[in-house]
Amino acid sequence: MDFPLPPVGEGLFEVELVRWLVQPGEAVHRGQALMEVMSDKATMEVPAPFAGTVTGTLAEPGDKIKVGAVVLRYEPEGQAATSSSAKKRAEELVAAAPPPLVAKSNGELSSARNGTSEPVHADEHSAAPPPAAAPSVRHLARKLGIDLTHVHGTGPAGRILLEDLAPHIAKKPAAAGDAHARPHRNHLPRSGLNFGVAGTRMKMLGLRRKIAEHMTTAMRAIPHYSYIDECDLTDLVRLRTQLKETFGRAGVRLTYLPFFVKAAARALKEIPIVNCTYDEAAEEMVLHDRYDIGIAVAAPNGLVVPVIRDADKKDVAAIATEIDRLSNDARAGRPKAEDLRGGTFTVTSIGGIGGLISTPIINHPEVGIMGVGKVVRRPVYDAHGALRPADLIYLSFSFDHRVVDGAVGAAFGNVVIRHLQNPATLLLPERFGS
């Protein structure tokens, strides 16, 4: 029987196949995930509305599939398999199956095929399917001599990521005669970023392809200009230190990012032209009366930009809670499609990695983005000419020059800086915090 791709979300008519979660010849139960698909940078699993045996798959990873297109064929449960391909697959599985194992008196397992008594390790003939992992991960594991069946995967549905190999690298003893060799440096980042594997080719699939398409569109369509300014965060650093423990007791992790988002929301209200998307077809600038701010999150499979809705109406604690939720979903590979749409401005931070200045690419069709660097302590002169220590940061703005003139972009940056240098205003209701 044919299985067509069912509707996967409101307004979604086409998706990209990321990977199959079942193989021909495999028995599946109702509700079991058949495939992983992607749309708008969000991945989702398509469950089986049937129980039966898969007899064939009709699409390859990377294919674009329209809703209603037949993607898989199956035999319903209880119905005799008449398909020659299904029979052939079953015969192949039987032929490839290991010989039965019998226990020897010494507790070892041995093969019963051909009367051999050769010791066999149970894990070598496990009936469990191989762990889910990308080809690059499997390649690196082979080079390092790591058995993936002993690796705990932290990706979606237990998928093994590059960083999951790190603890096993640390456990591997040095080879004999290698005592004077330089220690192996663990190049797998703790952040979960995928740095790739030398000597391999990686197909542009799934999220990576979406990022490539989106960034190319943004750079081709938008005449960017960048504006960079310095901001004294000394008072904000002090305020966050005072509030961090109190917020923590309430279960809220307080970073600097909620303050940046709140300051951006206040500035968007004062400079409405920046809270805008450009409708190229109609040649219209659409100024929004909602303040939905995207935050760039570096996930294992690539960059995603989930959106904080109504950032102007949320207090700092609510924004911090929402940032945690959105970031955790993104890093786990489970961002919701509705969280990735409809942003009116974006904030991206490189400070956690260590950068001072960036020139971020605008999230098309928005007209502005703010990049946040790391906080550094430096000596500065105060108004009286005396030196004092200060916590400084660079803010990097990119604007669409078709919509935002240089003077307007500078004015927007000044409003953001004004709020960040007077952080108590960000904790007050808007009517008191201007």
Among residues 187, 235, 405, 419, the one annotated as catalytic is 405
Q: How far apart are CA 210 and CA 213, in angstroms?
A: 5
3 state SS of 307:
strand
Kindly state the average pLDDT of the residues 32-51: 87
- Per-residue pLDDT band for 168 (boundaries 50, 70, 90) equals confident
C-alpha to C-alpha distance for 259 and 426, rounded to whole angstroms: 7
Domains in the chain (CATH in brackets) are 2-98 (2.40.50.100), 135-202 (4.10.320.10), 207-427 (3.30.559.10)
Tokens (6 digits) for 8: 């996967």
Q: What is the mean pLDDT of the chain?
A: 83
Q: Which helix (H) or strand (E) holds 392?
A: strand 387-400
Which residue among the candidates 168, 224, 288, 401 is catalytic per the annotation? 401
* Pair of tokens at residue 17: 């196949």
How much is the pLDDT for 102?
43
Q: What is the reported pLDDT for 164?
A: 74
Give 240-288 pLDDT, tens digit per residue. Answer: 999 999 999 999 999 999 999 999 999 999 999 999 999 999 999 999 9
The first and second tokens of residue 191, run together, are 């952040």
CA distance 67 to 204: 22
Judge whether 339 counts as a catalytic residue.
no
Q: Determine the distance from the C-alpha atom of residue 418 to the mean position of all C-alpha atoms in its chain, rounded to a whole number.
A: 32
Any residues with CB less than 8 A from the CB of 6 and at least 6 apart, and which? 46, 49, 67
Q: Is 312 a catalytic residue?
A: no
> Which three-class secondary structure state does DSSP give residue 420?
helix
Terminal CA-to-CA distance of the chain, rounded, Å?
Answer: 64
Model confidence pLDDT, tens digit, residues 313-322: 999 999 999 9
Between 98 and 141, where is the model more confident?
Answer: 141
Q: Which tokens belong to 80?
A: 């005799």
- The region of weakest confidence among 52-66, 154-168, 345-359 is 154-168
Q: How many residues does the chain have?
A: 434
pLDDT > 70? residue 174: no
Q: What is the CB-side half-sphere exposure of residue 348 using CA atoms within 13 A?
A: 23
Between residues 104 and 207, which one has the greater pLDDT? 207
